[in-house]
Amino acid sequence: MITFLFWNIGGRDLTERVRRLARTHRVDVLILCECGMAMEKLLSALNSAGGSGYLYSRGLCQRVTIVSRFAPELMTPIKESDYLTVRNMRLPGMQDLLLAAAHMPSKREWSDADQVFGCVSLAEDVLHAERLAGHSRTLLVGDLNMNPFEDGIVSAKGLHGVMTQQIAGRRSRIIKGKKYDFFYNPMWGLFGDRNQRPAGTYYYTKSVPKAYFWNMFDQVMVRPDLLERFPQNELAILDHDGMETLLDASGKPDGRKSSDHLPVKFQLSV
C-alpha cells in the first residue's frame, strides 16, 4: 500500500504535528498546501528518530508542496501552474500513476462563477496531463475550496466527480456528442457525523440564511482506472495527530493550535 496524506496547514509552522501524522500513519507521500515551514526543518523532523527517507519532491507550484519517501526522480512534475502540480509517479514494479495536487483560490478570492471556470480549467489541465503521460491512472487531491456538490466539481465540463464507484465505473458519459470522463469522489461518503468523525474538513459559518457549517473543501478523487486499487475504508478525515487532537473544545478544527483544515489520509494498493 502507498499511504498519502493531504493537509492544508494554513501557512503555519506545524512541523511537529506533521511529523506525528507522518509517523502515526506511515505516510509515504505528504502533500501540503500553504506550507509555511522551512523545508530543511520539515525534512529534519520527518527523518528524525524512527522516521526516515523523506525527500523533497521539487516542483514549481508554490501553493502545493510534496514530500515523499520516493526519490524525486520517481515523481517528476509534468504539468504545473500556480495552483496545480501533476506528478508522473513511476514506482518500481508498478504501473505509472498520475498524482494531481491542487490548491484552488478561496471563496474570498473567487466568485462562484470564477470557481466554476477554474474547475473547468483544472479538469482540462488534468486531461492534458493524462494525454502527456499516456494513461489516466489519476489521483486528484487538494483543497479545492468547493464542496463535492458544487457545480464545478459535479458538472461534466468540470471535474465530473460522482458519488458512487458504480457510476464512475461506467468511465464516462456522452453529452451532446462529447465524451466526459468521470472521477469517483469518495468524499461524499464522509459528510455528516454518523461515524463519530468530523463532519467535513473545514468549518465555516457566518450570519446568512444559507450556511453548511462543515465543508468538504479538501478532497481526493480517483479515475475509474484506479478504482480497484483504492480501498474505501482507508480514506479518512483525521482529527488527531497521534498524540494531540486537531480539534478545539467545540469539536471544530483548531485554527489556533493547528490548522483550520483537517488532513485527509488515503491509500492506494500497489
Partner 1 sequence: MENSKDLWPKDLKLIDVRPPVAVLQEQGAILARRTKNLLRGRVDQIPGKKAFNFKFVIEAPTLPYEYDLFSIHYDIEMYPLSVRFEPSLYPTSPKRAGMKELGSEDEFTQFLQKVFNSEKTRKLITALLQLLERKTV
Site residues for partner 1 per CB under 8 A: 60, 62, 76-82, 84, 113-114, 117, 120-121, 124-125, 132, 157
155 or 172: whose CB is closer to partner 1? 155
Q: CB of residue 201 vs partner 1: minimum separation in angstroms?
A: 24
81 or 172: whose CB is closer to partner 1? 81
In terms of Cα–Cα distance, which of 121, 118, 96 is closest to 107? Answer: 118
Q: Is 111 exposed, middle or buried (0-12, 13-18, 19+ CB in 10 A)?
A: exposed
Q: CB of residue 32 vs partner 1: minimum separation in angstroms?
A: 18
Distances (CA, A) of 74 to 43, 52, 88, 229: 18, 17, 8, 19
The answer to whether the CB of 98 falls within 8 A of the CB of 129 is yes
φ/ψ of 217, rounded to 5, equals -70, -30
Q: How many Å apart are CA 191 and CA 215, to the nearest integer?
A: 8
124 or 228: whose CB is closer to partner 1? 124
Residue with cell 491512472: 137
Bridge partners, residue 261, by sequence: 202
20 or 79: whose CB is closer to partner 1? 79
Q: CB of residue 42 vs partner 1: minimum separation in angstroms?
A: 21
Residue 125's SS3 state is helix
14 or 64: whose CB is closer to partner 1? 64
Q: How many Å apart are CA 41 and CA 47, to the nearest integer?
A: 10
Q: CB of residue 80 vs partner 1: minimum separation in angstroms?
A: 5
150 or 241: whose CB is closer to partner 1? 150
Q: CB of residue 135 vs partner 1: minimum separation in angstroms?
A: 13
125 or 241: whose CB is closer to partner 1? 125
Q: CB of residue 133 vs partner 1: minimum separation in angstroms?
A: 8
Q: CB of residue 21 vs partner 1: minimum separation in angstroms?
A: 28
Radius of gyration of the chain (CA): 18
Q: How many Å apart are CA 65 and CA 217, to the nearest integer?
A: 18
Q: In the structure grid, which three cell numbers stand for residue 145, read together?
A: 475550496
Distances (CA, A) of 133 to 97, 127, 138, 162, 244: 9, 10, 10, 24, 40
Q: CB of residue 120 vs partner 1: minimum separation in angstroms?
A: 4
18 or 86: whose CB is closer to partner 1? 86
